């Protein structure tokens, strides 16, 4: 890595999302942070829209790593002074750092998308495909003044869902599945079938990070979705070519405003409830 510009005394922002060749990208980010740090920059902020290894945030079986903590340590050791990220898989990851972390939310952009694109949004129901996302859906449901439902799932092993139970009434309503991340899409496609069989008129899915690995695209094409809406924390151009159901919410404005506010020492909390114009 070679920085082709003088960074002495500057406020540096390095943008790198945890996607694609994730380990290469993470390593590149660490090397860039370090390169800026030892070139006397005054402050280095890592802007990481999709935090790598965020799902490994607790020790759920013996001898399992807590990789999110390891990534946090690596970023700190490399010399990052500040982290800006979006919709962390678990908000306690912020506590893995001893440096400030701004965890931005896609929620204001999601609310805006729902109001602009779903005609019958006043008669919708917000559904979480797992119990972990309950807080996220209740927050959105409150702000839209609609009801919410939960799906309880049991996993036999990672990435495979065993059975699902729907809690809540979706009959004759537009169901909007909300989650922070979709990888192989097994959960949300199962959930969509469950909602349709429970009498939902239409099913949308809104996800912050669309990883879409393995069979995800073919599963979405075969599932009962009207649309699968993701943000561009991970680039989606290639995926959209293969799947007409995928739509993208652009969050570059939110990150840009967060960077501007951080640089000028303004409050970032405005972005938790508003979309920058």
Residue 48's H or E segment, with its range, is strand 43-48
Please indicate, yes or no, if residue 277 is contained in any of the structural domains: no
Report pLDDT digits (tens) over 126-171: 999 988 889 999 999 999 999 999 998 777 777 776 778 899 999 9
Q: For the domain that residue 227 is a member of, what is the CATH number?
A: 3.40.50.2020
Percentage of the chain modeled with pLDDT above 70 = 99
Whether residues 136 and 201 share a domain: the answer is yes
CA 13 vs CA 29, 32, 90, 259: distances in Å: 11, 10, 24, 8
In a shared domain, residues 41 and 167: no
Which residues, in sequence order, are bridge partners of residue 211?
A: none
Q: Is 0.95 topped by the overall pTM?
A: no
Q: Domain limits at 114?
A: 106-249
- Is position 34 within any domain? yes
Residue 50 lies in a domain: yes
pLDDT at 162: 72
Burial of 82 (0-12, 13-18, 19+ CB in 10 A): middle
Tens of pLDDT, residues 56-110: 999 988 999 999 999 999 999 999 999 999 999 998 999 999 999 999 999 999 9
Question: For the chain, first and last CA: distance in Å?
Answer: 35
Tell me: do 110 and 241 sit in the same domain. Answer: yes
In terms of Cβ atoms closer than 10 Å to its own Cβ (0-12, 13-18, 19+), residue 21 is exposed
User: Does residue 272 lie in a domain region?
Assistant: no
Give the position of tokens 């939902």.
200
115 and 57 in a single domain? The answer is no
Q: Are residues 243 and 175 in the same domain?
A: yes
Domain boundary among 104, 136, 155: 104
């Amino acid at each position: 890595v070679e920085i082709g510009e003088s960074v002495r005394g500057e406020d540096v922002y390095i943008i790198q999302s945890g996607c694609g060749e994730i380990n290469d990208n993470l390593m590149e980010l660490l090397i860039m942070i370090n390169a800026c740090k030892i070139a006397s920059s005054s402050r280095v902020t890592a802007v990481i829209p999709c935090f790598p290894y965020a799902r490994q945030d607790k020790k759920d079986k013996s001898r399992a790593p807590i990789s999110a903590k390891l990534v946090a340590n690596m970023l700190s050791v490399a010399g990052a002074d500040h982290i800006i990220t979006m919709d962390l898989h678990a908000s306690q990851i912020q506590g893995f750092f001893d440096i400030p972390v701004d965890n931005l939310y896609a929620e204001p952009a999601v609310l805006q998308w729902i109001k602009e694109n779903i005609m019958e949004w006043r008669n919708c129901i917000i559904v979480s495909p797992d119990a972990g996302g309950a807080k996220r859906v209740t927050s959105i449901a409150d702000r839209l003044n609609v009801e919410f439902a939960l799906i309880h799932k049991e996993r036999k092993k990672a990435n495979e869902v065993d059975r699902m139970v729907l809690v809540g009434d979706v009959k004759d309503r537009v169901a909007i599945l909300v989650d922070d991340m979709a990888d192989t899409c097994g959960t949300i496609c199962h959930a969509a079938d469950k909602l349709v069989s429970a009498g939902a008129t239409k099913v949308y899915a809104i996800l912050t990070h669309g990883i879409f690995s393995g069979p995800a695209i073919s599963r979405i094409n075969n599932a009962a979705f009207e649309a699968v809406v993701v943000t561009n924390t991970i680039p989606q151009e290639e995926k959209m070519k293969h799947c007409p159901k995928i739509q993208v919410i652009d969050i570059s404005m939110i990150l840009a405003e967060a960077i501007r506010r951080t640089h000028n020492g303004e409050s970032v909390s405005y972005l938790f409830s508003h979309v920058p114009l």
